[in-house]
Amino acid sequence: MSACSCPGNGPGNHLRPVDEAIAELLTRVPALPPVEFVALSQALGRVLAEPLQVPFDVPAWDNSAMDGYALRAADLPAGGGSLPLAGRIAAGDAAQQALPAGHAVRIFTGAPLPPGADSVVAQEQCRVEEGRVWLPPVSGGEHVRRRGEEVPAGAPVLAPGQRLRPQELGLLASFGIARVAVYRRLRVGLLSSGNELREPGQPLQPGQIYNANRYTLAALLEGLGLEVHDYEIMADELAASRDALSLAASEWDLLITSGGVSVGEEDHLKQAIRELGELHLWRLAIQPGKPLAFGEVGGKPWLGLPGNPAAALITALVVARPFLLRAQGCTDVLPQPLRLPAGFAWRKSNGRRQYLRARLEQQGGQLRVCLHPQQGSAMLTSACWADGLALVEIGQTLEEGELVDYLPFSALLH
């Protein structure tokens, strides 16, 4: 049991900087999930748990980079000429017979070079007449993929902590690897707090709203590779919050809630956390999303996101995402913003870092970061219009055309 150790409760109502909060969260990442082996077809988005080395030279033999004719460059006169054809080699052929001196052979992309050949001429540069092929002047080694040119045997190619994308799966397949060691998916219990919440499809009574956060956050978490268990809505009561959190902590690796972490009298979640574990922080210098909390319940990490839908989305993307990726074993968890001209002016400095819903538009032949006119913390329509977030630092002002940091959603939603 612990009292709240949060900044923001003392004199001056201090707000913790976003980067400082993220750094602290990363120091509190729990032990990594166990390692399991999965089929390559099931490994997309999983986090590699063991280093991988190339089992053989890639390519495994000298081969042709295009359709054409293979020859020994020294057999061709300096000004080009014709050589008799000595056969045909397609991809999949063994090419065990040496190329006869003074001959060329028809060859196709990916086919192994016959012993003695050292060059390939593209077919469109050649002319075949009565069993002979005319070839232009050629330098030794043209259009040949050398053995081990891409990666030599034994070289490291993939490191632990890397999320596997389609290109990594293709690379592993090219090595003949059918199963790969990955960390087990992090299992997350997702809870929504609020008496006002109802599920889509249910009728609304006065004062009630539909539970948007459940669907936004569940989809976001699944996109980050987590296994999500979605609980029923928690009532705004201390006993109900305590019971729901205790149950979720007994069943899952990590808990995430939305709502119930502000300063209102009906926000009982913080007190439930204090009674069950420890509350570390909950007020950040971020807009939207100031009421964000982190703690432990029964030894399991807990993240408390704001209740307003846009604030919940943005704090999940900016603050929770690095922690969740690192907890799954990822090494690269902090996205790098782009620096682009602002298509807007920002003349009022703010005491919190602004994460503004924005998208890229062409203005006067230049790509600029443009803002949605509505930036309220409850407004998801602006997030749907946007394709990223513009960052305006604490105390910063901007004139149109000045450079601004921009985080595309494509770098945040996976």
pLDDT of residue 40: 97
Are both 322 and 283 inside the same structural domain?
yes
* 1 inside domain: no
What's the one-letter identity of residue 245?
L
Are both 131 and 160 inside the same structural domain?
no
For residue 13, give every residue at least 6 positions away whose Cβ sits within 8 Å of its Cβ, in sequence order, or none. Answer: 283
pLDDT of residue 288: 95
- Are the C-beta atoms of residues 335 and 411 closer than 8 Å to each other? yes
Across residues 365-391, what is the average pLDDT? 96
Query: In degrees rounded to 5, what are phi and psi of residue 317?
Result: -70, -40
User: 15 is written with which tokens?
Assistant: 């707000």
Across residues 43-63, what is the average pLDDT? 95
pLDDT in tens, 318-338: 999 999 999 999 999 999 999
Q: How far apart are CA 234 and CA 408, in angstroms?
A: 33
Across residues 359-375, what is the average pLDDT? 94
Q: Among the listed ranges 17-31, 249-263, 310-324, which one has the minimum average pLDDT value?
A: 249-263
Whether pLDDT at 43 is above 70: yes
User: Regarding predicted confidence, which is higher, 269 or 179?
Assistant: 179
Whether pLDDT at 1 is above 50: no
Using the 3D structure, point to which of 262, 292, 327 is the last residue of a domain: 327
Are both 190 and 243 inside the same structural domain?
yes
Are both 321 and 225 inside the same structural domain?
yes
Write a three-state SS string for the chain: CCCCCCCCCCHHHCCECHHHHHHHHHHCCCCCCCEEEEEHHHCCCCEECCCEECCCCECCCCEECCCEEEECHHHCCCCCEEEEEEEEECCCCCCCCCCCCCCEEEECCCCECCCCCCEEEEHHHCEEECCEEEECCCCCCCCEECCCCCECCCCEEECCCCECCHHHHHHHHHCCCCEEEEECCCEEEEEEECCCEECCCCCCCCCCEECHHHHHHHHHHHHCCCEEEECCCECCCHHHHHHHHHHHHHHCCEEEEECCCCCCCCCCHHHHHHHHEEEEEEEECEECCCEEEEEEECCEEEEEECCCHHHHHHHHHHHHHHHHHHHCCCCCCCCCCEEEEECCCECCCCCCEEEEEEEEEEECCEEEEEECCCCCCCCCHHHHHCCEEEEECCCCCECCCCEEEEEEHHHCCC
Are both 200 and 295 inside the same structural domain?
yes
pLDDT in tens, 89-124: 999 998 889 999 999 999 999 999 999 999 999 999
Distance from the first to the final alpha carbon of the chain: 35
Are both 360 and 394 inside the same structural domain?
yes
pLDDT of residue 266: 54
Are both 43 and 178 inside the same structural domain?
yes
Percent of the chain beyond pLDDT 70? 95
Whether pLDDT at 413 is above 90: yes
pLDDT in tens, 213-244: 999 999 999 999 999 999 888 888 888 889 99
pLDDT of residue 259: 85
Are both 319 and 403 inside the same structural domain?
no
- Tell me the residue range of the domain where 403 lies: 338-411
Are both 344 and 383 inside the same structural domain?
yes
Q: pTM score, two decimals?
A: 0.86
* 4 inside domain: no
Are both 344 and 404 inside the same structural domain?
yes
* 332 inside domain: no
pLDDT of residue 262: 67
Phi-psi region of 289 (alpha: psi -120 to 50; beta: other; left: phi over 0): left
Confidence of residue 55 (pLDDT cuts 50, 70, 90): very high
Q: How far apart are CA 258 and CA 251, in angstroms?
A: 19
Across residues 149-166, what is the average pLDDT? 95
Across residues 52-66, what is the average pLDDT? 94
pLDDT of residue 263: 59
* 386 inside domain: yes
Across residues 196-213, what is the average pLDDT? 90
Q: Among the listed ranges 47-51, 145-149, 193-197, which one has the minimum average pLDDT value?
A: 193-197
* 316 inside domain: yes
Q: How many domains does the chain have?
A: 4
* 161 inside domain: yes
Using the 3D structure, point to which of 183, 200, 233 is the last residue of a domain: 183
Domain of 233, CATH number, reads 3.40.980.10
* 78 inside domain: yes
Across residues 262-276, what is the average pLDDT? 74
Using the 3D structure, point to which of 299, 327, 355 is the last residue of a domain: 327
- Are the C-beta atoms of residues 42 and 161 closer than 8 Å to each other? no
pLDDT of residue 264: 56
Are both 273 and 348 inside the same structural domain?
no
For the CA atoms of the chain, what is the radius of gyration?
Answer: 30
pLDDT of residue 283: 84
Confidence of residue 268 (pLDDT cuts 50, 70, 90): confident
pLDDT in tens, 209-221: 989 999 999 999 9
Q: How far apart are CA 240 and CA 201, in angstroms?
A: 24
Whether pLDDT at 7 is above 70: no
* 2 inside domain: no
Domain of 405, CATH number, reads 2.40.340.10
Average pLDDT, the chain: 91
Q: Among the listed ranges 6-15, 226-235, 267-276, 294-303, which one has the minimum average pLDDT value?
A: 6-15
User: Regarding predicted confidence, which is higher, 266 or 364?
Assistant: 364
Are both 365 and 262 inside the same structural domain?
no
pLDDT of residue 13: 57
User: 357 is written with which tokens?
Assistant: 């819903």
